[in-house]
Structures are given as C-alpha cells and as structure tokens.
Structure 1
Amino acid sequence: MARSILTNPAVAAYLDTVCSQVKAKAVHEDIRLEIAGHLEELVSEKLESGLKTEEAVAEALIAMGNPVEIGKGLHAAHRPSTDWNLIGLIAVMVVLAVVSLVAVHTYDERLYRLGPVFFYGAIGITAMVVMMFVNYRRLLRLSWPLYWGTVLIMVLTLFYGAEINGSTQWILIGNIGFNVFHASPYLLLIAIAGVLHLEKEREAPNEGIVRITILLRNVIVYAMIPISLYLLTSSMAQMLIYVLSLSILLLLSGCWRLILATGVTGTGLFTIWQMLNPDFYDVLWGRINAYIQKHPDAVYQSVKSLEAIRSGGLWGQGLDKEVVIPYATSDMLFSYLVYSFGWVFGAVIIVSSLLMAIRLFRIGKTLRDDYANKLVIAVMAVLMVRMFWNILMCLGWVPVIGMELPLILWHSGTIVEFAALGLVLGAYRRKDMVSNSAPCVP
C-alpha cells in the first residue's frame, strides 16, 4: 500500500530530500517505504476529514516535519558503527603476542627472528584494518569462487607444495612459506557461510528429488572434498579444526539435516581412509589408545607441559632457555608462557580468549543481516576451536596435535586470522547500513 503514494510528485520530492541527507544508500529504499507508510496513514485521515487528495498530501507532508531535519536524524541512526569492545580485545591479544614473541625469540633466537615475525603481524593488522572498511556483502557473490579457489590451491599444494615435517601443506614464494592448509578452514568456512545464506534466500524447492540432490551436493562440498584433501595431506589438526568449526556453523544456523549428513559422510570417509592405509590406522589408534591409557611415550609432551605450568607459580620463573618443554616455540607456547610469566599471564590469555569468544558470538546474534551473522559465526568458530584446543592441550585435557595459539604466535597464516577479524569488524561497522530488503547478491 505504501508504494502507491510514492508516485505522488510532492511525496517523491520530500523523500528525495530526506534520503539526500543519508549517506548509507543501501537503506534508502527502507526509509522511503517507512516514511511512505506514515504518510499514507496521515493522508487517509485527512481525506476522511473532507480534504481533496492534493490538500491531504500537502498537510500530511507538513505534519511529518522538515525533511532535512528528518534526514539528518536518520543519517545519525544509519552511520558506521565501531565495536570498540572487540577492538580492545584484539589490542590485548596484540600486546600478549608481542610479549610472547619476545619470549619465544629469547628461547630460540635462531628459529624465531623478531624482524620477519613482526612483519607478518604488521601485515596482518593492516589487512584487518583494510577489511574493516570493505563492504563485506561484496564477498557474498564470491562465495562459490572463494570455495573452489581454496580447494584448487589446496590441490595444487598437495601436488606441488613443499613438504615440511612429513606433510605437504606449504607453498613457497621466494624465502616466504605460506601454510595453505592452516588458512583453509578460515577460507572454506567464510565461503560456506555465504553459500548457506544464498540457499536460505532462495525459495525452498517442494520436490523431494530436488531437495535430496541439493543435500547430496552440500555433503560433497562441505564434507567429502575438504576432508579428502585433509586426509591426503595428513593434515589431521586442520581437519579437526574444519570439522568442529563447520559443526558449530551448521548447528547455530539450524541446519540439522546437513549436520547429520556431513557427519555420517565424514565418518565414512575417515573409516575408508583407515582401511586403505593400515599403517595410518595403527599409528592413529595406537596414539589414541596410548593417550587414554596414559602411556609415558604418548603423554610425554603433556607431562612436560604440566610440569612447566605447575613450576610457573603465580608470577613465573622468568625466561629460561634450559627448561625442557617440547615444541615450546609452537604448540606448547602457552605452557612456556605460564612457566616464564606465571599463571597471572596465563589467566589473562584464557580470560581474553573467553571474552573474545563471547563478544564474537554476541556480535553475530545482534547483526540483522543473516549473511553477516553466519560470517561472524564462521570466523568465531575457527578462531576459538584453535585457541581453546591449544590451551586444553597444554593442560593435558585433550590429545596433543599440531595446533598453535592463533593471534598470539605470529607467522604467515596470521595475516588470514587478522583479515578474518577485519571482516567481523566490517560487518559490525555496517550493521545499521544494510537494507532489510537487501538482495541475496548485492
């Protein structure tokens, strides 16, 4: 009904004046429809009092008020927003990272040179700032290209990448190494967040065959292809991150059928892989059984980690090169930090991580754009699975696998981590600048 009054020249001119004050063009249509609805009610009242149409419209416009002032008020309501809480938490993580990297450098000066490490951090923070000012909805149309591009890079890395520690996950660009499989969970989950939104915006087909076909396609895309690539490169840690993060995204998106279908498919793939690779089966389940039984060889890293944590005390023992902590400069960094700086420092890391998880979850739930919601959940899931698995691993509560602290231990993959947080900040920045009737593809 409100659209019928939009054709009136006086109303159109009034709305043009209002919208000219609002810089967020994406919400202009919503503003026009909302004001037109109020005008239509006023015009109806005036017509009932005996006025002619033009007179009723003129008086209704006067009753609405000065269009310039209304436009300025609406502009104030639809300006970019900044989540200072999340920025503050990121700043805390950066400070923790700097302290941690200095500690790592002291522990192993040859392995960790501060120059290259801080360079990656600077690039990552720059990428975060850039992504914050990018319209995240432009990424929506790139969801499928991003997914297939990530898969293609993973395949190329599988065949042509550099093998490090028995796994082909790296590509080398000059002297710079980039772990493609470390970045892949972020890229895949961001792409899948867009795909889920695109499917939600489309009308659900009524035909059972079509629904089954879409479900089968999603199982192949979400489970079979990524899990197969992780298995082929023995990227068990990255596969675990991807599977857990995908489960969180699907769970919070209400995709119960997909959770069940992808879970069954992933379990089947994993079982077949073990049957085809008996050595892998023996090693994997041997380690799991040894961990459950607390065999000394299987829990050696956990034992040394817990010894270091217990020795740290409240304020730590200082930077000690002689302390024995396996992988102190990577997987067990949290243990070394607690040993060096005490449980106060460790508590700051844990509390900051919890607060970041809570803040990311709240941001996702407060965003009215479904795509932004899924995007934030995807980033939150990957970051928090990495963070909390690593901490629990150092505490001996979960098995030790190759999983590092995100945002704190800087390397080439840190660029992707900060860029992903930039997307979250960008989504929040535009939370009041997105139309309620925004098209599926901007």
Structure 2
Amino acid sequence: MARSILTNPAVAAYLDTVCAQVKAKAVHDDIRLEIVGHLEELVSEKLESGLKTEEAVAEALKAMGNPVEIGKGLHAAHRPSMEWNLIGLILIMVALAVISLVAVHASDERLYRSGSVFVFGACGIIAMVAIMFVNYRRLLRLSWPLYWGTVLLMALTQLYGVEINGSTQWIVIASIGFNVFHASPYLLLIAIAGILHLEKKRDVHGKGIDRITVLLRNGIVLAIIPISLYIITSSMAHMLIYVLSVSVLLLLSGNWRLLLATGVSGTVLFTVWQMLNPDIHNLLWGRVNAYIHKNPDAIYQTVKSVEAIRSGGLWGQGLDKEVVIPYATSDMLFSYLVHSFGWVFGAVIIVSSLLMTTRLFKVGKKLRDDYAKKLVIAVMAVLMVRMFWNILMCLGWIPVIGMEMPLLLWHSSGTVIEFAALGLVLGAYRRKDMVSNSAPIQYQV
C-alpha cells in the first residue's frame, strides 16, 4: 500500500509541499513516513466505503488538511533549540573565572598576566559558540581518526615535545603551546563516544566469536593503549581523569561487559608496570600511605590548603599575597579563592559545579540520538571528575595528584578544549529535534 501511495502524483506533491516548509532536512524522511502512515489508514477506510483508488486518495489528502499549514507546524516542532539553563550555568562559571583570574593575578603577577589568560578564555568562548552551530553528527565518521590522531599526538609529544616543570606534555609550534595530555581525556572520550555508538549498531548483527573479538579489541583500544601512554609519560593525574571518565561513560551507557573488560585490562597493565618499576611503585604507594596516616611532612600541600580554607571565614581575608598555599595559582586555586573571598564564595563554586554536572546529565537524558547522548555523557564525565577531584583534594578529603579546576582557570590551550567540548553539548541539544530517528550510520574502523 505504501509503495502505491508514494507513486501517486498527488501524494508526492502533497509530501513535497509539507517538507518544503521544514528546514531541518534530516527529518524529511521521518515526516514522509509518518504522513504516509496516516494516509494509508485513511485511504483504506475510503476504499472500504466503495470509492475508487484515485477518489480515495483525494479524499484522504483533503482530510489530512492544508499541507502548508501542516509543514509550518512541523517546522516549529523541528527547529533548533537552545539549552538556556546550561548556558546560564556556563555564564556563571565564566563570571567566577573572571573573579578567579583577578585573584590569581593579584597573587602572582609574574605567573599570570591578565591579558594572555583572557585571550585563552575569549578563544574558548568563541570556539564554544562556533561549534554549537556545527552539526555534531559530522564528527561521528571521524571517531576512529580522532582516536588514533590523539594517540599519535600523545606519542609524538615524547619525541618532539617540550619539557615544562619536569614533564613532557607540551607541543610548541611558532611560540604557541598546546598541552596534549591536558586535552587528551576530552579528545579520547569524544572519540570513544562515537566508537561505542558505532559498535552498538554493529552488535545487532554480531554473534559469538564476533562479539568476543570486538570486546577484546575495544578492551585494547579503551584501556591498554591509552593507559600505556599515560604510564610511560608518568601522567598519573591525566590517566586518573581518563580512567574514571571512561568508567562513567561505560556505566551510564549500560555497557557492563566492556566496563569489566577494560577494568581488568587496565588493572593488570598497571600492576605489571609497578612490578617492573619498583621505584615508581614505592613512590605511588608511599604517597597513599602518607595520606592515609596523615604524615604532615608528606602531605604539606594538603595541610596548607586546609589551613587556608579554615582561615577564610564566612567572607574571606582579602587578596593576601603573603598567604602560603603551594600552587595557589593552579592546583590549589579553590583553596586560595576560599581564603580570599570566604566560605560563601567556595559554596557558590561547589553548587555551580554540582548544578552544571546535573544539568549536563539531564541534557543527555533529553536527547533521542544515542550518539548525542554518549557525547554529552563523555563531556560531563571529564568535567565532573576534574571539578570534584580538585575540590575534594583542596578540602583534604582525597590525595593531591596535580589536577586543576576546569573552566575557572584560563591559562592554556586546554581552556579552549574545555569550552569547545561544551559547544558540542550545546550543539547536540540544539539539534535534538532536527535529527532523524533513522539516521544512517557510517561504519569505519
């Protein structure tokens, strides 16, 4: 019946008129299928009443209504949407960042010159707005290239990178530095979101040995390769961000088998590496034991951070250059801000971080497209891990591992990556009603 109706010139003209009013071309096929389904029912009723086919089709089209008006109504339902709640939270974080930058600049003018850091922030916000208007699904076909490109960039950093503060994580081109390992969790998680989406579609047809092969391959891709690179470069903080973020993504995606496979693979790899490197093993577990037993000499940074927070009071002590907080302009920024502006300001940061994480989770739940959901979860996971580990370690509740607060500290190209990732989220939400339910999947390995 559907084929005969679609070949009818009157029906074809009707569908074309409806779709002409809808600018979101991706949903045209869905609209056609939906209208044809209603027409089939109406035509069947008319045929049963004794009308001929052409008459039945004409009566059915008349009963459907004016195609222009229907098209306009569908256009209103499928036009871009803005997630104003999330945008509002981002603006709050930007305002907090500006205040933080002023405080950091007052603390150490040599390390942070206000002009350069505002350039990073401005570039990040521009990138966020630009990416918001790009069709995020174009990134799906680039999932595997993005993954391998990030892995290759991480490896090349060790060969051609620049050592800063004893760690080779930067690539500098024409005096412009890019912290590859700071950006790597975002890039890898965005790539893995696409890879998982592609594998979910492929698993429908995979059976037995094929599923086991895919599971093993993904275990290598998600665990062995990235963790090996983090271990070789001693990027423990970034490895922790990556591992926890991937775990959140797999957990919320319901991929229990892959979560188990990557967990076992990563644990075995990390254990073997420690056995082969006893000095690193002693250093890592020495720090853990020092934190557990609260050795004041070994947790000096934590002690000073907690002292600064306690001395902040309700409204803070002002921009005190004499206060001793190790890494006050980086890892312990939260501690310095609470000391300077008080517990109320610290509560604002914590509540804003909680609200942003919650909002990102809710945005993900609202999206129909599985790929969009995974993208949002991936971005949420990285931001959530970095935000709350930083806050908790400043409070002295978990060990200090060198993890900076995202979005509040504008000091490198990593800031641009953070805002760009949020642009992907806003773009996914913007197109939530413009994506076909039967969007084609392009497989790529």
Same fold (TM over 0.5): yes
Q: What is the alpha-carbon distance in structure 1 between the residues aligned to residue 245 and residue 112 of structure 2?
A: 30
Taking a change above 3 Å as real, the CA distance of residues 128 and 322 of structure 1, as seen in their structure-2 partners, is same
Task: Give the TM-score taking structure 1 as reference length.
Answer: 0.98
In the alignment, the residues of structure 1 paired with residue 392 and residue 432 of structure 2 have an alpha-carbon distance, to the nearest angstrom, of 34
Give 1:353 deviation, angstroms: 0.6
Counterpart in the other structure of 1:349:
349
Q: Between the two proteins, what is the percent identity of the paired residues? A: 83
TM-score for the superposition, normalised by structure 2: 0.98
**Alignment partner, residue 171 of structure 1:** 171
1:126 equivalent in alignment to 2:126: yes
Aligned to 2:15: 15
Q: Deviations over 1:111-157 (max 9, x none)?
A: 00011100000100000001000000000000000000000100000
Deviation digits for residues 368-405 of structure 1, max 9, x if unmatched?
00000000000000011000000000000110011001
Moved more, 208-217 or 187-196: 208-217
Q: How many residues align?
A: 442
Q: Distance in 2 between matches of 1:74 and 1:206?
A: 37
Aligned-partner residue type, residue 311 of structure 2: S
Q: Which residue of 2 aligns with 1:261?
A: 261
- Partners of 1:3 and 1:36 within 8 A in 2: no
Aligned to 1:282: 282
Aligned residue runs from structure 1 range 14-413, under 5 A: 14-411=14-411, 412-413=413-414
Q: Name the structure 2 match of 1:418.
A: 419
Structure 2 partner of 1:434: 435
Please state how far the C-alpha of 1:204 moved relative to its aligned partner: 3.5
Deviates more, 1:43-52 or 1:418-427: 43-52
In structure 2, C-alpha distance between the alignment counterparts of 1:240 and 1:431, rounded to whole Å: 32
User: What letter matches 1:434 in structure 2?
Assistant: V
Amino acid corresponding to residue 426 of structure 2 in structure 1:
L
- SS of the equivalent of 2:171 reads strand
Q: Distance in 2 between matches of 1:17 and 1:379?
A: 40
2:55 partner letter: E
Equivalent position SS for 1:202: helix
Q: C-alpha offsets along residues 313-336 of structure 1, whole Å, 9 cap, x if unaligned?
A: 111110000001111000000000
Matched to 1:8, the amino acid is N
* Counterpart-to-counterpart distance in 1, 2:3 and 2:236: 56
User: Which 5+ residue runs of structure 2 have no aligned equivalent?
Assistant: none
Residues of 1 paired with 2:60 and 2:159: CA distance? 70
* Per-residue deviation, residues 154-205 of structure 1 (Å, max 9, x unmatched): 0000221111222211111233322100000000000000000011112435
Task: State the distance in 2 between where 1:203 and 1:271 align.
Answer: 31
Q: Distance in 1 between matches of 2:267 and 2:70?
A: 58
SS at match of 1:104: helix
Q: Which runs of 5+ in 1 are unaligned?
A: none
The question of whether the paired residues in 1 share the 8 Å contact of 2:203 and 2:211 is answered with no
SS at match of 1:413: helix
**Which amino acid letter does the alignment assign opposite residue 426 of structure 1?**
G
Deviations 1:59-96 (A, max 9, x none): 11111110000000000000000001000000000000
Q: Deviations over 1:17-44 (max 9, x none)?
A: 0000000000000000001111111111
* Higher mean C-alpha displacement, 268-277 vs 412-421: 268-277
Residues 245 and 381, structure 1, Cα contact 8 Å, conserved in 2: yes
Tell which deviates more after alignment, 229-238 or 162-171.
162-171
For the Cα contact (< 8 Å) 1:313–1:343, is it kept in 2?
yes
Cα pair distance change 1:10/1:345, threshold 3 Å = same
SS at match of 2:231: helix
Question: Is contact 1:205–1:211 with CA below 8 Å preserved after alignment?
Answer: no
Partners of 2:164 and 2:280 lie apart in 1 by: 18
**How large is the RMSD of aligned CA atoms in angstroms?**
1.1
Deviation of the 1:3 alpha carbon: 4.6
Question: CA–CA distance in 2 between the matches of 1:17 and 1:266?
Answer: 56
Q: Secondary structure at the match of 1:240?
A: helix
In 2, distance between residues paired with 1:4 and 1:52?
A: 14
The answer (yes or no) to whether the contact 1:304–1:325 under 8 Å persists in 2 is yes
Q: Which AA in structure 1 matches 2:350?
A: I
1:227 positional shift: 0.2
CA-CA distance at 1:361 after TM superposition: 0.3
Divergent runs of 4+, >6 A: none
Give me the whole-angstrom Cα distance separating, in 2, the residues matched to 1:56 and 1:231.
Answer: 71
- For 1:381-433, what per-residue CA distance to the aligned partner results, in whole angstroms no more than 9, with x for missing partners? 00110000000000001100110010000122000000000000000000000
